[in-house]
Amino acid sequence: MVEYGGGINNGPAGQVGGNPGGAGSPELGTPVDFFGTVGNTLNDATAFVSSQPIEVLILGVVIVFLGLVVLRRAF
């Protein structure tokens, strides 16, 4: 097996491989999605609101409306 290159990927040289920039760093050229968490946050917020009972949703709408009235009077 060693004469066909099997010793390289199974031996000590294969154990040394890993991320070139150290543990946890992305490889060069890997695109980073900075706004990927925005979609997750919106998804979580939508799931949270949709899981609330109708009384809580009505109370939330009333609170938002009262907040808009207070802001209107402030300006």
Place 74 in a pLDDT band, splitting at 50, 70 and 90: confident
pLDDT digits (tens, 9 = 90+) for 7-60: 555 555 545 555 555 555 555 666 777 788 888 899 999 999 999 999 999 999
Q: HSE-up of 11 (CA within 13 Å, CB side)?
A: 8
Residue 61: what pLDDT? 96
Query: SS in 3 state form for the chain?
Result: CHHHCHHHHHCHHHHHCCCCCCCCCCCCCCCCCCCHHHHHHHHHHHHHHHCCCHHHHHHHHHHHHHHHHHHHHHC
pTM for the structure as a whole: 0.48
Checking if the pLDDT of 68 tops 80, the result is yes
